[in-house]
């Protein structure tokens, strides 16, 4: 797209694909950013992810200053205005560059009739978006979250905690890898989670060699809570992409329902050198009868993902609680564990209906975790763990260790 900076072009394509074609931001970005150098790619990712993440606030600014409902705009105009508004409101981009290149994107989309409107709205945004943002009251509109997610956070953390959490997940969190084997990466910093190292960036060569694995401290804690040992049998439900699977010791059977994700799981485990894991493609709620008598199980259940909204910019707009599925998976795993065996239930969400609500409904006994991991003890239910992005600087995970009577 001649005349338009490559990073802005890539970000614009991501916005179109995410909001007009329901694509996932990370997948859309991978294809849109092909051919960009490292510097362009980093700028493109910031623009794309930031614009997707801040969509609610951007649309409010566009409608307030542009005086036209965003939903009635042509998709290329909508995407160009969001991209321009994000640059004007949240980056140090020169206003003329943000305005002119966003206008050019509309022109290149062969919407010449919309060019004067786009230009006029962007010039109003250049003058007025910063004062408008400053005047917004603290809350879900200013931080760009759906109201229901904000209300969920308030239930868990109160108004001040919810605001701190929303702000934390609008900023980059730490980058952490799990040491699979060998020495820690040069310059890596040890953390309060054994085997977890904070790094400036993920070393792609070490990753390809299977020496490290990108995995947040919250996720690693969930895997460590299983506590399996050599000689024990372990069932891992919903195992892909395999970060926690790779942590499990013993004779591991990993279950994944989706064939594409099962292929990804096989590849990732092979990279980590875990050729000893048995992978079964099956529905975790209807397991083959021969999968029984396990000493431990890990249920890393699908969820709304409210603890990883910082890493997945589009998730806040598509998140859905899944309590019925989660309870079915937990009960299914418990049935396949021997009496006295343990089940770790983990979800990357902070929604009580998907966390302690599921455990309470399961009827399983609870083995307290708070004393084992005091820094991560759930603020109101210390028998569970709850890692919090604004407190612990890692992804949000709920973890419970349960026992079958």
What distance in Å separates the CA atoms of residue 82 and residue 53, rounded to the nearest whole number?
A: 11
What distance in Å separates the CA atoms of residue 348 and residue 370, rounded to the nearest whole number?
A: 18
* Catalytic (active-site) positions: 348
**In the 3-class helix/strand/coil scheme, how is the chain assigned residue by residue?**
CCCCCHHHHHHHHHHHHHHHHCCCHHHHHHHHCCCCCHHHHHHHHHHHHHHHHCHHHHHHHHHHHHCCCHHHCCHHHHHHHHHHHHHHHHCCCCHHHHHHHHHHHHHHCCCHHHHHHHHHHHHHHHHHHHHHHHHCCCCHHHHCCCHHHHHHHHHHHHHHHHHHHHHHCCCCCCEEEEECCCCCCCCCEECCCCCEEEECCCCHHHHHCCCEEECCHHHHHHHHCCCCCCCCEEEEECCCCCCCHHHCCCEEEEEECCHHHHHHHHHHHHHCCCCCCEEEECCCCCCCCCCCCEEEEEEECCCCCCCCCCCCCCHHHCCCCCHHHHHHHHHHHHHCEEEEEEEEEEECCCCCCCCHHHHHHHCCEEECCCCCCHHHECCCCCCCEECCHHHHCCCCCEEEEEECC
What distance in Å separates the CA atoms of residue 143 and residue 140, rounded to the nearest whole number?
A: 5
């Amino acid at each position: 797209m001649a005349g338009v900076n490559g990073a802005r072009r890539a970000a614009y394509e991501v916005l179109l694909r995410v909001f007009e074609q329901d694509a996932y931001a990370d997948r859309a970005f991978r294809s849109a950013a092909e051919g960009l150098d490292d510097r362009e790619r980093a700028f493109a990712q910031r623009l794309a992810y930031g614009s997707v993440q801040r969509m609610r606030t951007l649309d409010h600014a566009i409608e307030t200053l542009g005086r036209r409902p965003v939903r009635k705009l042509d998709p290329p105009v909508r995407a160009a205005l969001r991209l321009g508004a994000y640059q004007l409101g949240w980056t140090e981009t020169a206003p003329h560059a943000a305005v002119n290149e966003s206008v050019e994107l509309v022109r290149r989309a062969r919407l010449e009739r919309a060019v004067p409107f786009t230009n006029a709205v962007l010039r109003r945004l250049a003058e007025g978006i910063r004062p408008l943002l400053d005047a917004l009251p603290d809350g879900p509109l200013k931080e760009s979250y759906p109201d229901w997610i904000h209300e969920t956070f308030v239930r868990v953390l109160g108004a001040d905690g919810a605001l701190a959490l929303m702000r934390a997940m609008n900023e980059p969190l730490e980058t952490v890898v799990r040491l699979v084997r060998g020495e820690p990466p040069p310059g890596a910093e040890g953390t309060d989670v054994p085997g977890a190292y904070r790094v400036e960036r993920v070393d792609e060569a070490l990753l390809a060699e299977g020496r490290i694995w990108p995995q947040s401290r919250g996720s690693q804690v969930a895997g460590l809570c299983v506590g399996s040992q050599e000689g024990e049998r372990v069932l891992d439900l919903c195992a892909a992409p395999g970060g926690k699977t790779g942590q499990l010791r013993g004779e591991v059977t990993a279950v994944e329902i989706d064939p594409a994700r099962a292929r990804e799981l096989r590849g990732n485990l092979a990279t980590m050198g875990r050729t000893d894991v048995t992978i079964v493609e099956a529905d975790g709620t209807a397991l083959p009868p021969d999968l029984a008598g396990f000493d431990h199980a890990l249920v890393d259940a699908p969820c709304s993902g409210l603890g990883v909204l910082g890493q997945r910019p589009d998730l806040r707009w598509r998140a859905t609680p899944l309590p019925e599925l989660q309870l079915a998976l937990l009960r299914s795993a418990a049935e396949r564990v021997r009496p006295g065996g343990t089940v770790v239930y983990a979800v990357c969400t902070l929604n009580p209906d998907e966390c302690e609500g599921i455990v309470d409904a399961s009827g399983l006994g609870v083995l307290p975790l708070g004393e084992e991991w005091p820094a991560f003890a759930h603020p109101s239910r210390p028998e569970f763990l709850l890692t919090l992005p604004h407190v612990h600087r890692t992804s949000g995970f709920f973890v419970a260790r349960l026992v079958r009577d």
